[in-house]
A and B are shown apart, each in its own frame.
Chain A
Amino acid sequence: MADRQPIISIQNVTKRFGSKITAVDQVSLDIMVGEFFALLGPSGCGKTTLLRMIAGFEVPTKGTILIDGEDMHSVEPNRRPVNMVFQSYAVFPHMTVAENIAYGLRVVGMSRSEVAGRVEEAIALVRLQGLEDRKPDKLSGGQLQRVALARALVKKPKVLLLDEPLSALDAKLREAMQLELVNLQHSVGITFIIVTHDQHEALTMADRIAVMGEGDVLQVAPPTELYEFPSSTFVADFIGQVNLFTVEHANIHDGATVVRISELGEITLAHHKDRITHIAVRPEKIQLGITEPSEPGLVKLKAKVKNISYRGDQSYVFLVTPKGLTVSARVQNVGRSLSAVARQGDELWLSWRPEDIQPLAD
């Protein structure tokens, strides 16, 4: 990624609505050529506002947005080399599929024959052959989305912006479309920026993810790094499930970081950080056992099963420590036994390796 050029460069961008609401606060971000980039965050975190500023529908209160090296400050949305797919798809209801896709070419005065060729190409790209003359009210949600995609891609933008593109689809279709979007991005080679509140979507599709919270970009990293090495409690908590333990005090001993946690005692960490307020352990890293694990070096703790959440392929076991903290552990349902791995009220041993602990600062 390092050798690539940024296609979009967001520099110290702030967006305020009125005097009270700051939607985006001092954000700086580079998005590289050919990248599948995700803006991830809970609703109201400013991700859509940031996307709309790139598209040109909102003007930054402060800061600069460069697209392919050019300052976009006074460039109207219809003159920017980016195109957007809206959450509602916004397929023009009074036009057929082909007319919808041709629209962006027709309004800029492209010749009829060239439009026809490009439209045909785009229809093939999103596999809508045979539906050219359909009206939108005769299309399914997935087909509408393909129309919206083709209509934006036919313009050959430098960057395609997607605002929550899958949120209107049902679960099965959403999974299929995630894969399809990735394949589509590979085949056209255009930079995609997707806005989503769904962590699975971002982890599955994106090359890099920016996690946003309350107008700030909190961490920008590839999916694995984001999941395994979150930089803050917010990110750790937002991406996937996590067990957080409060650190009472931390100090460095002969180059090793030792933290004190009331539930666990003193632990020597494998990863270091200047300031540590919490440590995090993912539920799937925790082993459950009836007897105390004998392997040396493990972090271990006894707790009582409170309840079990069955998910089909796996179960989450929630346990309460003697000090009253709830810890969740994931169990793969490998066998086909009907009796549960654990029963409510069982006393079990939890254990995990020190390497699986992520130190965090809030």
Chain B
Amino acid sequence: MASLAKKSGSMRRRLRAQANPLDYSRKAWLRLAMGGAFLFLYFPIISLIVFSFNNSKRNITWQGFTLHYYDKAFQNTQLHEAFLNSMIIAGISTTVSTILGAMLGLALYRFRFPAQGPYEGMVHLPIVIPEICMGVAMIAFFATIGIPLGLLTITVSHIAFSIPFVAVVIRARMAGFDRSLEETSYDLGASQWQTFWNVTFPYMKPGLIVGALLAFTLSLDDFVITFFTSGPGSTTFPVKIYSMVRFSVTPEVNAASTVLIVMTLALTITALAIQARAQRRDDHG
């Protein structure tokens, strides 16, 4: 037994030393290409973060480390107001779009109805059509029905473009659902309503959290549609940063952007972690 274990151990070591034909990640040229792609993607973001600590008003060359511009950004009342607006919009839009999107995703999973294919395609359309078109369509729509642009119009637009994302996430989550769980619950004496809350909803939950976090980040960093549908006094955080950039690119802009990046990153990582954990649990069960 012991010699067998030793033998298999040494065999494993030999296998590790010798790359398998399909072990692409161990090939030098591929690693180089991956590193290059990674640098290409993240260099601008990394330099943005680095230069947010730059002690220079012009922010072109590195002058030394400081937290001064973070302090300045946190003191900026206009930024405060924009941030608050963003939070209100994101909060409402996330809540509403998560509920509606979840209902939509569930309906698409559950029911078979005429013209379901085209309907599903139409639901996913906002994900693929250019944001600028969506923005123009929104502004035209609000102008037609005569609603003044402001927080309300931004929120409604954000809800509209977030719903498909939530629906897609819920739909994907439900694809792995065992319908006999619902039937069992019904068979054991539960009503349809009890069955939904006791059986279906707990299964949906990771999808709901991921969908909500997705909707939140989408709303928080949306620029194009927000820019079209915002009015006086309803500036959001990204729009405010844009207007600051038009003046001059100071480290304050970098600092504010860094805050936004960190927030979205944290939310996205949370969403992915929840999804991964739910996946692991499903694989077990």
Contacts and interface: CB of A to CB of B under 8 A. Distances in A.
B280 to A, nearest CB: 9
Interface in B243-282: 281-282
B202 interface: yes
A312 interface: no
Nearest to B282: A93
Contacts of A83: 187-188
A108 B180 contact: no
Contacts of A104: 188-190
Interface string B195-230: 000110011000000000000000000000000000
B66 interface: no
Interface stretch (A84-92, A172-180, A347-355): A84-92
A55, A76, A90, most chain B CB atoms within 10 A: A90
B198 A137 contact: no
A77 interface: yes
A90 B189 contact: no
Contact of B180 (A76, A79, A90, A136): A90
Contacts of A77: 183, 186-187
Nearest to B283: A137
Contacts of B203: 93-94
B188 A151 contact: yes
A86 B185 contact: no
Nearest to B201: A94
B198 A107 contact: yes
Nearest to A76: B186
Given A137-B284, A137-B285, A90 B184 contact: yes
B281 A103 contact: no
Interface in A162-210: none
Given A86-B184, A90-B181, A93-B281, A107 B199 contact: no
Q: Which range contains the number of A residues in contact with the other chain?
A: 20 to 34
A84 B187 contact: yes
Contacts of A86: 180, 183-184
Interface in A94-142: 94, 103-104, 107-108, 136-137
Contacts of A57: 183, 187
Contacts of A90: 178, 180-181, 183-184
Interface string B2-22: 000000000000000000000
Contact of B186 (A78, A87, A108, A155): A78
A74 B187 CA distance: 15
B191 A78 contact: yes
B194 interface: yes
A136 B187 contact: no
Given A94-B202, A137-B284, A137-B285, A103 B188 contact: yes
A88 B186 CA distance: 16
Contact of B184 (A76, A84, A108, A136): A84
Interface in A53-92: 55-57, 76-79, 83-84, 86-88, 90, 92
Contacts, number: 68
Interface in B137-152: none
A103 B198 CA distance: 9
A79 B187 CA distance: 8
- B180, B189, B194, B202 interface centre (most CB from chain A within 10 Å): B189
A151 B185 CA distance: 10
Nearest to B202: A94
A107 B194 contact: yes
Interface in B39-77: none
Nearest to B192: A78
Contacts of A137: 281, 284-285
Contacts of B183: 57, 77, 84, 86, 90
B138 to A, nearest CB: 40
A57 B191 CA distance: 14
Nearest to B191: A78
B74 to A, nearest CB: 42
Contacts of A108: 189
Contacts of B185: 92, 103, 107
A136 B188 contact: no
A76 B190 CA distance: 11
A84 B183 CA distance: 9
A148 B181 CA distance: 11
Nearest to A79: B189
A136 to B, nearest CB: 6
B4 to A, nearest CB: 26
A142 to B, nearest CB: 16
Nearest to B284: A137
A37 B199 CA distance: 31
Nearest to A56: B187
A155 B281 contact: no
A124 to B, nearest CB: 20
Contacts of B181: 90, 92
27 contacts: A56-B187, A77-B183, A77-B186, A78-B190, A78-B191, A79-B189, A83-B188, A84-B183, A84-B184, A84-B187, A86-B183, A90-B180, A90-B184, A92-B198, A93-B285, A94-B202, A94-B203, A103-B185, A103-B188, A103-B190, A104-B188, A107-B189, A107-B194, A151-B184, A151-B188, A152-B188, A155-B189
Across the A-B interface, the 8 shortest Cβ-Cβ residue pairs: A104-B188, A137-B284, A107-B190, A90-B184, A90-B180, A86-B180, A137-B285, A93-B285
Interface of A: 55-57, 76-79, 83-84, 86-88, 90, 92-94, 103-104, 107-108, 136-137, 148, 151-152, 155
Given A107-B185, A107-B198, 18 more contacts: A55-B187, A78-B186, A78-B187, A79-B189, A83-B187, A86-B183, A86-B184, A87-B180, A90-B181, A90-B184, A92-B199, A93-B285, A94-B203, A103-B188, A104-B188, A104-B190, A136-B285, A137-B281
Interface of B: 178, 180-181, 183-191, 194, 198-199, 202-203, 281-282, 284-285
